[in-house]
Amino acid sequence: MSKKPLMSRALVLAVVAILLIVVLLAYRTRGLNFRWDLFWRTLDRVEWSWLGLSICLILLSNVGRALRWQVMLRPFGRTLSVWKLTSDTAIGLTAVVLLGRVGEVVRPYLIAVQTGLPLSSQAAAWLLERTLDLLVVLLFFGFALLWIPLHTSGFDPGLRTMLTAGGYVFGVTGAVCLLLLFAFRDPRRQAQRRILSALTFLPAQQYARTEHVLEAFSKGVDCTRNRPLLTLLLAYTGLEWAIIVASCGALLRGFAVTKPLGAIDVLVLLGFISLGSVVQVPGVGGGMQVATVIALTRIYRVPLEAASSVAALFWMVSSLAIVPFGVACAFHQGLNWSKLKLLSAKQILEEPQGEESDK
């Protein structure tokens, strides 16, 4: 596919995203005295230097992801350059935006193809990556739970209920992830055998596939048993999120209504945004936007219209900024984007081994 149709698709996507945001806001503010002039004025007065810095930082955070994935390849005796992994990350994130949920497996698929490893091994690496990110998110949200009631006057009981419920959800999810992570670190594979023994009722083909996936996941977790590798994983995770925090802070500095917010406030907002991402609306990002609006209006007393502008731009920076670069990386690699579009999660997961990429 030529570069021009890809760039045209990215442009159309950006326009559609803006329209979706406006429609979503119009739907959720029906019956309210929503001042659209304030909404547009807030967007119009954003400081572009801070916005540009925020975009650069959010793109730079993908280098941290690439460095972390490079560490997860070491137990398999394979390696890819940081540039190659960063390129695959950009393509994978763009696939999520352009193709929907199926795009989640594009990055593991590309890395598996390039290294000749089973796709399940890189799907396991992706799951480990998500687990590490979730632990960071739990730290942010836990901090928000502790900080807000102590430092916010007239704390809203409804907000307290939402935070408490979210805290339980995040706590249980984090506990499950940690249990799985520690259980699969056992070199004797006891957890794997117990899970398989409980799944003997499955048909032979599905049982064999499950066994293959669990074995690959165990190998993916193997790197956490090596203390130097685990240290690197944690360090690169910290680097990635430090850049994300800086990007969020730069974006908030670009708006007059959020310019006074400090580093602690950025962490609190990221806690809310993380909560909102759990109920993310595919293709719209409504959950994240609503959580951002709630935090800005209920905690920092930002007007609804201005908060909506900040939330909309934050979602566009965090989700859409990668698209032009992902498209450029796909074109540079000579990838057939039409083939990626036709892939389904079932088709990809049935690929047991890496194969030559279709140029």
Calculate the alpha carbon distances from 331 to 172, 201, 324 in Å: 42, 46, 11
Tens of pLDDT, residues 306-355: 888 898 888 888 888 898 888 888 888 776 556 556 554 444 445 444 44
Residue 124 has pLDDT above 90, yes or no: no
In this structure, of 35-39, 69-73, 220-224, 281-285, the range with the lowest mean pLDDT score is 281-285
Examine the pLDDT at 50 and tell me if it is beyond 60: yes
Q: How confident is the model at residue 15 (pLDDT cuts 50, 70, 90)?
A: low
DSSP designation for 105: G
pLDDT of residue 246: 94
The structure's pTM equals 0.77
Residue 127: strand, helix, or coil: helix
CB of 240 closer than 8 Å to CB of 61: yes
Q: What is the longest distance spanned by two Cα atoms in the chain?
A: 64
Lowest model confidence (mean pLDDT) among 38-52, 97-111, 211-225 = 211-225
Q: Over range 202-220, report the average pLDDT.
A: 78
Tell me what pLDDT residue 292 has.
84
CA–CA gap between residue 131 and residue 137 (Å, rounded):
10
Report the Cα 93 to chain-centroid distance in Å.
8
Q: pLDDT tens for residues 242-301?
A: 999 999 999 999 999 999 888 888 888 887 777 666 554 444 445 677 778 888 888 888
Return the DSSP state at 75. G
| pLDDT of res. 251 | 93
- pLDDT at residue 243 in the model: 94
Distance from the Cα of residue 202 to its chain's centroid: 32
pLDDT at 282: 41
Q: By the 8 A CB rule, do 268 and 121 touch?
A: no
Would you place residue 204 in the very low, low, confident or very high pLDDT band (cuts 50, 70, 90)? confident
Please state, in angstroms and rounded to a whole number, the distance separating the CA atoms of residues 225 and 259.
Answer: 43
Percent of the chain clearing pLDDT 70 (strictly above): 72
**Looking at 135-139, 167-171, 283-287, 339-343, which range is the least confident one?**
283-287
Q: What is the pLDDT of residue 193?
A: 81
Mean pLDDT of the chain: 76
